[in-house]
A and B are shown apart, each in its own frame.
Chain A
Amino acid sequence: MATSEHNLVLILARGLASSIATPMFLVDPNGTLVYFNEPAEEILGHTYADAGEMSPEEWGTLFYPEDPQSGEKLSPEALPLSIALAEHRPAHRMMSITGRDEVRRTIAVTAFPLFARTDEFVGAVAIFWEEDGG
């Protein structure tokens, strides 16, 4: 019998993500990107249906994240979502990304870990706002 149901907290988080206008990423405890919503698709230039699940190596470099001031490339470990995953704490920063549409955007990203009722770490969420142009 298959028992691959996601943790309820992730299911409810996906329900929230699919209901809001704010771009949102959802990763499981292994860092696999298991869902992103339609507003995120617009910024990323990928649809969830096309992209499917992605490993941390894939989503960490997909958008060419850079420091908006220095223009230096950000390592995957420096991304707020990676910090929420690795250190189980919230993280926030500004960054520039380039989506598949090759448009450069400055965004603010806030990520936070998800813990189920028994304090079990079940994944993390990142929400982001475009800073220039809404």
Chain B
Amino acid sequence: MHARIWGCRGSLASPGPETVRYGGNTSCVEVRLDDDTLIILDAGTGIRPLGIALRQGRPRTIHVFLTHLHLDHLEGLGFFGPLWESDVDLHIWGPPSPLRSLDRRIARYLSPPLFPIHLQDIPSHPTFHDVPDEDWKIGGALIRARPVSHRGPTVGYRISENGQSLAYIPDHEPALGVDLRSVEPEWVSGHAVAQSVDLLFHDSQYTEDEYLQRVGWGHSSVVHVVSFAEICDVRRLVMFHHDPLHTDDQLEALLGRATELWNAGGIPPVLAYEGMELDLS
């Protein structure tokens, strides 16, 4: 299994000289299974350059896993090249809602006046799936999606293949109403997704001071992401979903704080950046 980051910014695309080292595109991670099956985690603005890269050797079947439908995780979908190709077998997975199907919810964005083309007129005619409650298989991988603590229906994903696993929880506030220092693991949102994974992409949006002004907004402080990774016994933590107001220098200060807090030994946390490649084979 191999992962490449195409976007790791949270909330709003933030291009510019102050974000050039870690990137300004919003959430999108390309995952290649060992048989080259393509899974794309979220459809933030990073999915646009991924679509361009796929002009060379695009697989017929593509799976897009949406954690939730906040715009920074969806806004790139309409600009994803394969969406406009009729010979692609595109599967879009996302969290269920009791009120509207996934395609109807996505169509609120992919339709006028917010978008010029109606979803039903898009040539690839994607197949939409509510993620199941039980684990399921894609290619040789076992997939798990579980609800996690964030604003609105949101899931985290776990992909396991050939003894390796990665978890992707880009928007997550596991500390909401919970003292992560003392609570039992089964009471921690996201634990079933991230437990003992080799690689965790996780929300690390705020400094400790910033979080105090944003409790309940659905994101983690640097303390929370480190605690969460330690509770879940994660082998490698990649700090993800960078705040759009944080410059590269501020992100590196945040990493310094995470490293200071990290007690788990092994591999210290790293910051996600556009173009980052991680091999789990």
Judge whether B149 and A12 touch: CB under 8 Å. Answer: yes
Taking CB atoms, residues of chain A closer than 8 Å to B133 are 118, 120
Answer whether A11 and B187 are a contact pair too, CB < 8 Å, given A1-B196, A3-B192.
yes
Interface size class of B (residues with CB under 8 A): 20 to 34
Tell which of A15-23, A61-69, A97-105 binds the partner.
A15-23
Answer whether A8 and B146 are a contact pair too, CB < 8 Å, given A2-B195, A118-B133.
yes
A119 to B130, CA, bound (A): 14
Answer whether A16 and B147 are a contact pair too, CB < 8 Å, given A5-B192, A11-B188, A118-B98.
no
Judge whether B147 and A117 touch: CB under 8 Å. Answer: yes
Per-residue 0/1 for B122-166: is the Cβ within 8 Å of any A Cβ (1 yes, 0 no)? 000000001001000000000000111100010000000000000
* A contact residues, total (Cβ < 8 Å): 20
Taking CB atoms, residues of chain B closer than 8 Å to A7 are 147
From residue 1 to 40 of chain A, which have CB atoms closer than 8 A to chain B? Answer: 1-8, 11-12, 14-16, 18-19
Q: Which residue of A lies closest to B153 (CB)?
A: A117
A12 to B97, CA, bound (A): 18
Is A116 located at the chain interface by the 8 A CB criterion? yes
Q: Point out the residue from B153, B176, B186 that lies within 8 Å of A15, measured CB to CB.
A: B176
Number of A-B contacts (CB under 8 A): 55
B157 to chain A: closest CB distance in Å?
15
Q: Point out the residue from A6, A16, A120 that lies within 8 Å of B177, measured CB to CB.
A: A16
Q: Which residue of A lies closest to B95 (CB)?
A: A117
Q: Which residue of B lies closest to A5 (CB)?
A: B192
Q: Which residue of A lies closest to B195 (CB)?
A: A1
A61 to chain B: closest CB distance in Å?
26
Is B276 located at the chain interface by the 8 A CB criterion? no
A74 to B216, CA, bound (A): 40
Per-residue 0/1 for A99-124: is the Cβ within 8 Å of any B Cβ (1 yes, 0 no)? 00000000000000000111110000
What are 22 contact pairs spanning A and B, CB under 8 A?
A3-B195, A4-B186, A5-B188, A5-B189, A5-B190, A5-B191, A5-B192, A7-B147, A8-B147, A8-B148, A8-B149, A8-B189, A11-B149, A11-B178, A11-B188, A12-B189, A14-B177, A15-B178, A18-B178, A117-B153, A118-B133, A120-B133
Across the A-B interface, give the 8 residue pairs with the lowest CB-CB distance, nearest first. Answer: A15-B177, A5-B192, A8-B147, A5-B191, A4-B186, A3-B192, A118-B96, A11-B189
**Contact surface of B with A, Cβ cutoff 8 Å:** 95-98, 130, 133, 146-149, 153, 176-178, 185-192, 195-196
**Contact surface of A with B, Cβ cutoff 8 Å:** 1-8, 11-12, 14-16, 18-19, 116-120
Question: Besides the contacts A14-B178, A15-B177, what 7 more A-B pairs have beta carbons closer than 8 Å?
Answer: A1-B195, A5-B192, A8-B147, A8-B148, A11-B149, A117-B153, A118-B133
